[in-house]
Chains A and B, each alone.
Chain A
Amino acid sequence: MADKTCTHEWTIVNLRNGYLVTEGCAHCGGRASFFTLEDRHHMDSYIDGPHKWRFLGSSQAVKFDLQCSKCGKKVALDRTQALGMCVGCKEDCKASRKGKSAGGENTWVYLALCAQSIHEKGECVPAEECRALTEYYQSRIKSPGKRVIFVSCILRDSIDFCQAEIIADIGLKDID
């Protein structure tokens, strides 16, 4: 039974190997990325509401959930499609500033990337997923004074100019 007072000790569960597929909209220029287990992806454009999506590329990726080994609470990282490291390319970017406000030089901001770059519904990776990712990776750090924090990608100033390093195996094994 999940315990609200528990200081969770997260472990990776439900690890899946698949692909991160990226599509682009010919109308608005937005991008959508999603994780799939399918090793075939349709290459034709398709219309979805106001968007006309077409396949841009894919990369081998993993997806997992986190479960507390003490109380059993599980956080399904459903909205997190990929992870990326903020490199601080733009000083006034809200994502980058999170690192500075959290602790400065040895604090690394990582992005939990959701499926849609345009965030048309104003939704992104929820705080619970970011918090669990932060707690999981932070708990494993041995380097003294080092911190990692996860933030949702909606904080990024601009997807077009963001230079975050995305953790995906681009080009190594694409879907044909």
Chain B
Amino acid sequence: MKVSELSGKANLILANKVHEKDVDGVFISDMVSDIVAGAQPGNLLVTVQTHKNLIATANLVDVSAIVFVRGKQPAQDVIDLAERAKISLFTTDLDAWKLALRLHELGLQ
């Protein structure tokens, strides 16, 4: 699946621009200390963490995109840094579990 397909197929709201990448797997975590050692390149990162250092971490591990769940909204400086890093940001009102089920139905592992 491509990042550009996420909005339509997973019903996510785009918070910045689409930066096209292949989505390869999903990583769910709210701790940057967990993400820096555990996330795989290309993963779709699912999180409630909206701190700016999340973008620093996501950029380092080269995720494909980030989804903020449970209605969490990134601040403008977070969006700006994500734009510099060419990482697409999405939001959803779903919680991580329900989103994971939806992504699994779409074929993401």
Contact = CB atoms under 8 A, between A and B. Distances in A.
Interface stretch (B6-14, B26-34, B67-75): B26-34
A15 B32 contact: no
A168 B37 contact: no
Interface of A: 12, 15, 17, 59-62, 64, 83-85, 87, 108, 110, 137, 140-143, 146, 148, 165-170, 172
Nearest to B31: A169
A166 B62 contact: no
B78 to A, nearest CB: 10
B41 A142 contact: yes
13 contacts: A59-B33, A62-B33, A64-B37, A108-B60, A137-B60, A140-B62, A142-B21, A148-B60, A165-B52, A167-B56, A168-B32, A168-B53, A172-B30
Nearest to B39: A140
Contacts of A165: 52-53, 55-56, 81
A148 B42 CA distance: 16
